Structure 1
């Protein structure tokens, strides 16, 4: 179909005994349709009679072979272009070597693309190729604009019957078309939107470079409902093959520009500006700021602007996951903050040997001390007392993670805590294995601890479109919340987060994380923390320890208060 080449290979020259009258006929029909003459080469009775032979071998010899003459190329091109210009799609398609695909695309040229008044002007032939110019008018709902472009066609000899035919490719109709694509004039997809912060100021990438993916997501979600109007365009609409090749639809001509609708967000201009500044300080850094009491997202920023890691990243969260693990341990009454609990230098589980950072150990200490020091084996050594699904259930039921049902207003990845067994389950307890999160997820975890209730984060208020926010299956007990705040406050005051959180107490809590990544010299540094009714979480990929990398970024935003 469409773009498949059907070029006939030249056959050997005919025997000299063949009458020359067939070749002479070509010159006779230059000014008219060549179909009748070429039919003589198809092996019909008339050809045999003129050749003076009724044999099958003579019939075969009637097929025209050899290079195309200039007359054949020019006549075929003129016949094709004339039929197309006159709007006779079927007749034009019949002069090609793929009449089905050609007919469909040429019919759509008028029907779908709304192109009329077409003038096709051949240029100077080069061998079997004929360039031509296209001029026409695109008209849609009373709006018209001229269209002009250059194209070209190639004439080939059909192997089966010797006919000169246009070698069909979608590019004949327009050079930007690929196999399976089509031209369509109409509304240009989703109407544009203007997004505004919580105070009514417009959000633009000029002000906030990180927000490019967010603004795209807002248009995708709210463009059709925010009161805007799509523009009208002539577009190349990609088919399956082009989509597989990741080619996007392409606008060829804009008849009218769209008028944008408006969407109000929860973004704070003060925090957004500060977050943008923070991510410029470290490569591959991302951060989210939110309000625990409401779930409102106040800021989102990424050092790299092409992909929204803060909302859509899927990274191992390292030891920040110990917040969720501790929640599970507290709820199961397996430990309390002040209970004695060792953290051995190594711990073997299902054939794996787990180590602590820098080979450290705590021989005599409390669970709170191990949490504050982020000592891995103090968590992994609970594995024999747990089922494979315990951590998954805790993450889903209390923190709303891993259910793929958050509706924040733009695309987001909602975390993943898969059920795993053996050593992989042990690794999950410290945020490795198959556990995957992003700064939005970990900000939500700290928010749930601070407020005691999971409130799904959101960037656009649910009242804007009456959508339903995700809810957790259950709420942690007041006792569990108090225990979590105790260990997180200890970490902020005396543990691995103390340097970054200095001067921010006493109503605060934090957790650091370092996630090892195969083939990466330094781990991803994580940090999530709350201070009063404010939470921030961040990651610096390949940055090193979270307390030294993501920590200062998060603490700087928490210092702003508000």
Structure 2
């Protein structure tokens, strides 16, 4: 027994040999101390936890992961993956079935060979790593390189450390159900042009990446190009539900691109890129109210087009829609007295204003300009549950899922709700969800007097039909709504951001509270002449201070 114990001890204390490099994990050392260079790795040996004649007991591990647990688990997974030992790599995760499927496809369908995985320094339970390999198909080979990361967690049931499985571990662009495929592309590439005929590229406009992917998916086969051979992300059911497009990761042989002209303004697009680059999690859209043409779209994050596909509570920018409803219903009038108490209780919820302010003897215009929540929620008892939904759909063209922009979009959602949730919807919370494209369209509708569906590619290109609204606002309601937005831009919560924006202007700020965030999402929507724009900066604070300067800077440039 003693000899067996000494052998077990020797086996479990020797350093692991990784591709000829001895890698020892000591105390809090991170994975940066070694690199996976190919070749064999020593198998991890289990240790007996029972003594002959005694029952085997097993305790569940709990508590924070140690540095050694994180580094050892990451090393085990990365070494097995690098060696093509799919079963062993999958066993190092907390979802071996899903890991096996994707890692098997990495070789068989993605055709990635000669993989080298180089971990970086550990940060807590997370380990970044670099992937390098070669993609080979029918005699054509190209190098592949990208960054990824993994997180180690305790497995449910026994508390053993395992890699938390996610498709993003294999490649950061992968989501649940997506696959990596190398072969002839199903869709030819496109050469996208701006409104002046200049080429739109991700090198020039980094945040257009998802837009260009969407243009290819929509117009690749219609634009007259021929497909090449490439490694691409093929979207699964979940991603398609989110309207995510297939994504090219590496071209092995170029196809012949077709040409698609967009409505983007090179001057405004470049300016929008600069504006969002200065802030984290910022998105903005600029429209032409007289036509619906999209002149600029930009996001701080390149991976997801929040500006077109985001689904976020718009906060008080939604009060533009609500104000039009209240005026039409005779429940508010710009220059007439309107209540703005500190609190208003509806449906069992006690609503309040920012900093619990109140306006005594003020007008509806004053309440709108200062963004008084209770001025709107106080009218909830006089409204039907579906009034706001019908207003958004029939006047502003929202929440019908029928926009044909030319790339995937989320067209806003204003569900029918009741009691407290209905009251919250009036101020852009509750179940209301929007993105900058939707809210720029709201300002454009106010400016032009009629809803014109935004579009990125002219409908004449493919004969598609644009969405329309069922009705327009009366002249009186429209005049009051413009007055409210103009007053807010000059004297209300939007005044600081809109200072220096001259001409026929209107604006509305918004702040949307989000569970788990210390700061709200900041919103801003505005128009100037024949430009309308909206932006959001997530988890950054009030809209007038965050999204406002972005929108105002673009409006100052003119059309």
TM-score between both structures, scaled by the size of structure 1: 0.65
1:455 aligns with 2:455: no
Distance in 2 between the 1:236 and 1:457 partners? 28
SS in 2 for 1:300: strand
- Could you report, residue by residue, the CA deviation over 1:349-369 in whole angstroms, capped at 9, with x for unpaired residues? 111100100110012100000
| Other-structure match for 2:304 | 307
**1:249-328 map, 5 Å:** 256-328=253-325
The offset of 1:212, in angstroms, is 0.3
SS in 2 for 1:202: coil
| Other-structure match for 1:363 | 360
Distance in 2 between the 1:413 and 1:238 partners? 18
CA contact (8 A) 1:279 1:287 kept: yes
CA contact (8 A) 2:289 2:445 kept: yes
CA contact (8 A) 2:405 2:456 kept: yes
SS in 2 for 1:298: strand
Distance in 2 between the 1:268 and 1:182 partners? 35
- Alignment counterpart, residue 525 of structure 1, candidates 522, 525, 536: 522
SS in 1 for 2:395: helix
CA contact (8 A) 2:286 2:294 kept: yes
Distance in 1 between the 2:388 and 2:140 partners? 63
CA contact (8 A) 1:356 1:375 kept: yes
- Could you report, residue by residue, the CA deviation over 1:284-309 in whole angstroms, capped at 9, with x for unpaired residues? 11100110000000000111111111
CA contact (8 A) 1:183 1:234 kept: yes
**Unaligned 5+ residue runs, structure 1?**
1-108, 113-136, 139-143, 148-179
Distance in 1 between the 2:478 and 2:524 partners? 19
The offset of 1:280, in angstroms, is 1.4
Distance in 2 between the 1:239 and 1:502 partners? 47
The offset of 1:526, in angstroms, is 0.4
Distance in 2 between the 1:485 and 1:182 partners? 49
CA contact (8 A) 1:493 1:505 kept: no
Alpha-carbon distance change, 192 to 364 in structure 1, aligned in 2, over 3 angstroms: same
SS in 2 for 1:344: coil
The offset of 1:239, in angstroms, is 10
Further displaced range: 186-195 or 347-356 = 186-195
The offset of 1:282, in angstroms, is 1.2
SS in 1 for 2:296: strand
Distance in 2 between the 1:368 and 1:183 partners? 55
SS in 2 for 1:539: strand
- Alignment counterpart, residue 340 of structure 1, candidates 333, 337, 341: 337
Distance in 1 between the 2:247 and 2:558 partners? 45
| Other-structure match for 2:389 | 392
CA contact (8 A) 1:489 1:509 kept: yes
CA contact (8 A) 2:213 2:247 kept: no
| Other-structure match for 2:402 | 405
Alpha-carbon distance change, 230 to 348 in structure 1, aligned in 2, over 3 angstroms: same
1:381 aligns with 2:405: no
Alpha-carbon distance change, 221 to 514 in structure 1, aligned in 2, over 3 angstroms: same
CA contact (8 A) 1:193 1:263 kept: yes
Further displaced range: 402-411 or 184-193 = 184-193
SS in 1 for 2:533: strand
Distance in 2 between the 1:387 and 1:277 partners? 44
| Other-structure match for 1:94 | none
CA contact (8 A) 2:314 2:428 kept: yes
Alpha-carbon distance change, 510 to 190 in structure 1, aligned in 2, over 3 angstroms: same
Distance in 1 between the 2:351 and 2:235 partners? 51
Distance in 2 between the 1:447 and 1:403 partners? 18
The offset of 1:187, in angstroms, is 3.9
TM-score between both structures, scaled by the size of structure 2: 0.65
| Other-structure match for 2:535 | 538
| Other-structure match for 1:556 | 553
- Alignment counterpart, residue 486 of structure 2, candidates 484, 489, 492: 489
The offset of 1:263, in angstroms, is 0.5
Alpha-carbon distance change, 232 to 495 in structure 1, aligned in 2, over 3 angstroms: closer
The offset of 1:503, in angstroms, is 2.5
| Other-structure match for 2:210 | 213
- Could you report, residue by residue, the CA deviation over 1:459-480 in whole angstroms, capped at 9, with x for unpaired residues? 0000111100000111111111
Distance in 2 between the 1:311 and 1:226 partners? 23
The offset of 1:335, in angstroms, is 1.5
SS in 2 for 1:399: coil
Distance in 2 between the 1:181 and 1:275 partners? 31
Alpha-carbon distance change, 349 to 236 in structure 1, aligned in 2, over 3 angstroms: closer
The structure with more radius of gyration = 1
Distance in 1 between the 2:447 and 2:408 partners? 25
| Other-structure match for 1:13 | none
SS in 2 for 1:203: coil
| Other-structure match for 1:473 | 470
- Alignment counterpart, residue 349 of structure 1, candidates 346, 351, 354: 346
The offset of 1:550, in angstroms, is 0.6
CA contact (8 A) 1:236 1:252 kept: no
- Calculate the aligned-residue CA RMSD, in Å: 3.3
CA contact (8 A) 1:181 1:238 kept: yes
- Could you report, residue by residue, the CA deviation over 1:143-180 in whole angstroms, capped at 9, with x for unpaired residues? x7489xxxxxxxxxxxxxxxxxxxxxxxxxxxxxxxx9
